[in-house]
Every structure is written in C-alpha cells, then in structure tokens.
Amino acid sequence: MLLELVDNSYYNKLSLVLLSPLFIVFFMCMVDLTRTKLLFRSLFSNQYFYKYPHDAVSTLSLYQILVFLYVSVVFALFLMFLLYDSEFIYQHFFEAFRGCVYISAGYFFIKYLVSEFLYNFSRRKSHFKQMLVLETSYLAVVLLMVFLLLCYVFLHLDIYNSSRIFVLITALILYFIRFIIIVLNNKNLLSGKILYIILYLCTLEIVPFIYLFKSYTE
C-alpha cells in the first residue's frame, strides 16, 4: 500500500512547498496587512476594489510581486497535481514542483504582458484597469480555496489519484463562479470591448483545465 511506503522525507519536502504560499501571504501582510485582508475578502466584498482602484498593470510594486509569486506557486501545485500521479510525486516531488513553477510563472507572466498590451490600446483605460484589479483579486481568492483542497490531497496520497476529477471540477466551478461575480457585480464597467477582453482573459485561464478534464474522461 502506498501509504506504507511514504516516509518522513516526503512530508519534509511537502511541508517546505506547502508552507511557501503561507510565507508569501505572511510577507504580504507585513507589507500591508489591511490590503491583504481586503484582497482575500474581495470575492464577497468590493472594498479592495474601491480602496485600490488603480492597482493594476503598469504599476508594479513589491506587493504585486508577492501576489504574483503567491498565484504562481499555488497554480504550480495545481498543475503538479493534475499532471503527475502519486508514485511520481512521491519519488520526484521537488523535480515536479520546480518544473511546474517554471510553467506557472511563465504562464502568468505572459498573461500579464497580454493584459498590459490590451491596456495600452484600450480607449477606456480607467475601466479596463479597474476590471483587471477585480479579475486578479478574485483569482487570488479562488486559488486560496484550491490550495486548501490540494493540501489535504497531498497529505493523503492514498486518495491522490482518485480525487483528480473532483478537484478539477471544483476548480472549474470556482472559476466560473468568479467570472459570474465579476459580471453581476460590475455591470456598469462591463461595456463594449471591455467585456470581451475580460472574457478572453478568464477563458485563457480555464482552457488548459478543460483540456486536462477531457484527457481524464476519454
């Protein structure tokens, strides 16, 4: 049985990796505690949006870099869970994580460049910037929920393989809920091309998961 093979070395590696997003959130709190609290409440409250309406593209700060690291690490854990089975994770945990971090960071960096490119050519820059703030803050909350699921799965390798579809479906549902909340709570900002741009950015995140889900069900 796989659980009998798992020794302390796996849990030591796992602890370091699972603690890394928590350390990043801790540093976010050190930089700005109020901002961090509002960020992780943003799915249920628009206070973050009203207090930091201009915190978007072309204004990189230490706090934004920390948010980027947090999102990249959690997304890397999610990719690792989807791409590798439990035996590979047990034997090559750090190698798998390192590779997924590169993919995740590259993915979000490209998404950032696309967002900045679209922002520079947008006629309604203020509205577009505000929607990007919402889109990014909601993503941070969704990934926090996914992270909690992943912690449980990585700590219980006996259910690792069997829980893949459940975790993937849960993540997809959370992503769709996020998009619906963006649309319902911000109808005044979503006009014309801005709606299509936000829809495009959300789709850019969801398409890889749909492809992975299709590969599991075939």
Give residue for tokens 């909690």. 148
pLDDT of residue 198: 57
Tokens of 176: 């769709």
Rg for the chain, CA atoms, rounded: 18
- The reported pTM is 0.79
Close Cβ partners of 136 (under 8 Å, ≥ 6 residues apart): 56, 67
Question: What pLDDT, on the 0 to 100 scale, is given for residue 70?
Answer: 94
Per-residue pLDDT at 40: 87
Token duo for residue 144 = 């926090």
Cα separation, 73 vs 20, in Å, equals: 8
pLDDT at 147 (0 to 100): 93
pLDDT tens for the 218 residues of the chain, in order: 455 445 678 888 889 999 999 999 999 999 999 989 988 887 777 777 777 765 554 566 888 889 989 999 999 999 899 888 888 888 889 899 999 999 888 888 887 777 777 667 666 556 566 666 667 777 888 888 889 999 999 988 888 888 888 888 888 788 777 777 766 666 555 555 555 555 555 655 655 555 555 555 45
